[in-house]
Amino acid sequence: MASDETSGSAGTLVVGAGQAGISLVTALRELGDTQPVVLVGDEPEPPYERPPLSKSYLRGEHDRASLVFHDAAWFADLGVELVTGDAVVTIARDAAGGSAMTAAGRTIAFERLALATGAVNRALPAEGADLDGIHDVRTLADADRLAPRLRSARAVVVVGGGFIGLEIAAGARALGADVTVVEATDRLLGRAASPVLSDAVRAAHERRGTRILLGTSVVRVLGEGGRVIGVELSDGTTLPVDVVVVGIGAVPRTDLAERLGLLVEPRGIVVDECARASDGLTVAAGDCAVGPNPFDRGQPGSMRLESVPHATDQARAAAATLTGRPTAYDRVPWFWSDQGDLRLQMAGLPQGADEVVVRGDVASEHFSLLSYRDGLLIAVESVGSPTDYLAVKRALEKGMTIEADSAADTSVPLKRLITRARGTRPS
């Protein structure tokens, strides 16, 4: 739904129509803001759900229409102009506002500016990476290109053992392909999960017939007639393959922020706890931004989180800042990943834990891992145990804890073990 106008104006210009962008617009209206909004996205589709792209959408269980957040009437009713299939390429601003130019030549004047520019997938750093048959997934168009290939593929290599790679690997395996996951580090989910969960997830995928190669990388992609036919690995092995899927992380889109003179680092646009960029005027949220850890039990310092809940919550903080009511973003991070019939749910941040309590039988794929630091509960990682996950998530949100000595006893529901953390006052 692209506008036919060649110029426009907005109280607020939101650059980027992904999860953070649509959440920011929604939050503005929920906060009572009535100024005109222009939401600009470079994809031709209106804002849509992205999580199904690496899972159920690839398997044909979602149609395109079911992914779309809102129809045209919703935007019209809220006084939001949606511009799709166009990209903001230049922005100039000062304390009073500014103007932006799009690739199509549209000029948009604004008073307030929000950057929700997202990220782009890292390219495979190997010879032959431009051959037909090499895919990644971030957009609906990406998924549309990959889906028919997966359904007919006999051999699939997934490069990268993160959440997206494992979700796609599980889907390809369910569709009948021989699947190999190639991960350069010594464990799966290394950036996000505890070592115990990494080992459990590896075993679960191997039980389903997926081959996992750790400490290995793709050094060359082999082709014939312009199409991929194999990959050469760092150990000298060559694997025949029909489809290669690359999931080795993402790079934040910071080019507009850099041109505005905002503070940017390799992990993203630097923001404070209220989602303000370094100029004190612009806000940024989602995959493009790096800010203070919102979880007071997590490791200190700044971080960039990639998840739907984070993008939504940080966007709400950004909206509050734009409306003159800045509120610190201090939510407990949470995340989920469906890898075929394996459901992972996480709350808190397990990095930095000095103790992990195993609750349940890991081999049964119904268990929870409770992470502690200095005796304080900091995270839960649950597989097939939603009740445990919800109990711990609520405890963390309330500033409560569960004593490690009693957490492993599956005969007692975790919700009965929640207690006030030592050194805190009752809420």
pLDDT value, residue 7: 53
Residues with Cβ within 8 Å of 5's Cβ and at least 6 positions away in sequence, in order, are 106
Nearest to 401, CA basis, from 387, 415, 385 = 415
Q: Are 146 and 317 in contact (CB under 8 A)?
A: no
Cβ neighbours for 65, distance < 8 A, ≥ 6 positions apart: none
CA–CA separation, 133 vs 159, rounded Å? Answer: 13
Give me the DSSP letters along 242-297: SEEEE-S-EEE--HHHHHTT--EETTEEE--TT-B-TTSS-EE-GGGEEEE-S-TT
Structure tokens, 138: 């971030």
Between CA 402 and CA 377 the distance in angstroms is 6
SS3 letters for 77-119?
HCCEEEECCCCEEEEEEECCEEEEEECCCCEEEEEEEEECCCE
pLDDT at 2: 43
Tens place of pLDDT for every residue, the chain, 427 residues? 444 445 556 799 999 999 999 999 999 999 999 999 999 999 999 999 999 999 999 988 888 899 999 999 999 999 999 999 999 999 999 999 999 999 999 999 999 999 999 999 999 999 999 999 999 999 999 999 999 999 999 999 999 999 999 999 999 999 999 999 999 999 999 989 999 999 999 999 999 999 999 999 999 999 999 999 999 999 999 999 999 999 999 999 999 999 999 999 999 999 999 999 999 999 999 999 999 998 878 677 888 999 999 999 999 999 999 999 999 999 999 999 999 999 999 999 998 899 999 999 999 999 999 999 999 999 999 999 999 999 999 999 999 999 999 999 999 999 999 998 765 443 4
Structural domains present in the chain: 7-120+251-322 (3.50.50.60), 123-248 (3.50.50.60), 352-420 (3.30.390.30)
**Token digits for 390?**
């919800």
Exposed, middle or buried by CB within 10 Å (0-12, 13-18, 19+), for 232? middle
User: What is d(CA 73, CA 169) in angstroms, rounded to the nearest whole number?
Assistant: 38
377 to each of 58, 357, 360, 400, 407, how far by Cα in Å?
37, 10, 17, 8, 10
Spatial distance between the Cα atoms of 340 and 210, rounded to a whole number of angstroms: 12
